[in-house]
Structure 1
Amino acid sequence: MTMADTRPVQLPPERTGEANVALERVRGYLTEHKDLALVRVTVEDGSAEPLSLPREAVELLATLLAHLGAGRGVSIVPQHAELTTQQAADLLNVSRPFLIGLLKAGEIEYRTVGTHRRILAASLLDYKRQDDANRRAAADELTQLDEEAGLL
Structure 2
Amino acid sequence: MGTRSLANDATTYLPNAEDRRRLMDIKEALSHIAQDARETPDTVFDDMSGQSDFPVATLKVPGSPARPLTPELADVLMQVADQLSRGRAVFVAPYDTMLTTQDAADFLGVSRPTLVKLLEDGAIPFEKVGRHRRVLLADLQEYMNARHRENVGMFDELAADEDPRATLNNPLIS
Q: Which TM-score applies when normalising by structure 2? A: 0.70
1:60/1:138 CA distance change after superposition, 3 Å? same
Q: Which runs of 5+ in 2 are unaligned?
A: 1-5, 46-55, 168-172
Asked if structure 1 preserves the Cα contact closer than 8 Å seen for 2:33 and 2:74, the reply is no
What amino acid does structure 1 have at the position aligned with 2:57?
R
Identity of aligned residues (%): 30
Q: Which of 58, 65, 80 in structure 2 is aligned with 1:41?
A: 58
* Partner in structure 2 of residue 68 of structure 1: 84
1:137/1:57 CA distance change after superposition, 3 Å? same
* Partner in structure 2 of residue 20 of structure 1: 24
Whole-angstrom distance in 2 between the partners of 1:82 and 1:11 = 25
1:25/1:109 CA distance change after superposition, 3 Å? same
Matched, 1:51 2:54: no
Whole-angstrom distance in 1 between the partners of 2:126 and 2:63 = 48
Partner SS, residue 96 of structure 2: coil
Asked if structure 2 preserves the Cα contact closer than 8 Å seen for 1:40 and 1:50, the reply is no
Partner SS, residue 106 of structure 1: coil
Larger strand share, 1 or 2: 2
Q: Once the two structures are superposed, what CA deviation does each residue of 1:36-59 show, in whole Å capped at 9, x if it has no partner? A: 7xx622537499x74314443332
Whole-angstrom distance in 2 between the partners of 1:25 and 1:95 = 41
Partner SS, residue 56 of structure 1: helix
Aligned-residue CA RMSD (Å):
2.8
Whole-angstrom distance in 2 between the partners of 1:122 and 1:44 = 30
Q: Once the two structures are superposed, what CA deviation does each residue of 1:83-115 show, in whole Å capped at 9, x if it has no partner? A: 111111111111111111111111111110001
Asked if structure 2 preserves the Cα contact closer than 8 Å seen for 1:109 and 1:123, the reply is yes
Asked if structure 2 preserves the Cα contact closer than 8 Å seen for 1:85 and 1:117, the reply is yes
Structure with bigger gyration radius: 2
Whole-angstrom distance in 2 between the partners of 1:106 and 1:81 = 20
Q: Which TM-score applies when normalising by structure 1? A: 0.79
Partner SS, residue 133 of structure 2: strand
